[in-house]
Amino acid sequence: MEIIYEDKDIKVLNKPAGVNADDIEGRIHRLDKDTSGVLLTAKSEESLAFFQEQFKSRQVKKTYLALLVGNLKQESGTIETLLGRSPSDRRKQKVFLEHEPGAEDKRMALSRYRVLKRFQNYDLVEIELLTGRKHQIRAQFANLSHPVAGDKLYGFKGQLVPEGLKRQFLHAEKVEIKMPDSSLKTFEVDLPEELKTVLNKIK
């Protein structure tokens, strides 16, 4: 994996799709196996605790790029939902309504999005995660009937898939975090070539 930054406390990786982040030593946060992009890893127990505390207290700014199936009604917006494990499929997260049975112990998930480019059957969106719930982007947009393109777990039967797309079109583009010396650093990774190629073929 390409190292995009390294110092005595942290090593920042460009994680390709298909690599299980759980297997990576010192990982500070999680990225789904088929999501590419910025992954932070700590080089000591102290720095791991320091950086993880920022994720827990929502001080980290995380920005993703996703290609969604269909066109969103609004150019930008905020999605606030309750999210928890789906009772019908344990691999998935489900959006719960406030008074729905089982909703009482579910956690709030908050995302902010804006459409970068509209295509005939897809929207390319930038999403800022204000919370870091498991499968947050995938579950929330599937719940809006605009699943991430190529997502086999949350997609619908017979869903449109862009030509050449072999995985979910979700990329962790940017992470902004405070360093131990109190400086703010932003780590950024461009869309991988495979996803750029897919975009170039869409009308």
Structure confidence at residue 47 (pLDDT): 96
Q: Which domain holds residue 90?
A: 59-201
CATH number for 69: 3.30.2350.10
Cα gap 156→151, rounded to integer Å: 9
In a domain, 27, yes or no: no
Structure confidence at residue 176 (pLDDT): 97
Q: How confident is the model at residue 171 (pLDDT cuts 50, 70, 90)?
A: very high
In a domain, 51, yes or no: no
In a domain, 69, yes or no: yes
32 is catalytic: yes
Q: Are the CB atoms for 108 and 131 separated by under 8 Å?
A: yes
Vertex 197: Cα angle to 193 and 154 (nearest 5)? 90
Q: Is the pLDDT of residue 174 over 80?
A: yes
Structure confidence at residue 35 (pLDDT): 96
Over residues 108-115, mean pLDDT: 96
Structure confidence at residue 6 (pLDDT): 97
Predicted TM-score (pTM) of the model is 0.94
In a domain, 35, yes or no: no
Number of domains in the chain: 1
Q: Looking at 9, 32, 89, 123, which residue is catalytic?
A: 32
Q: Is the pLDDT of residue 102 over 80?
A: no
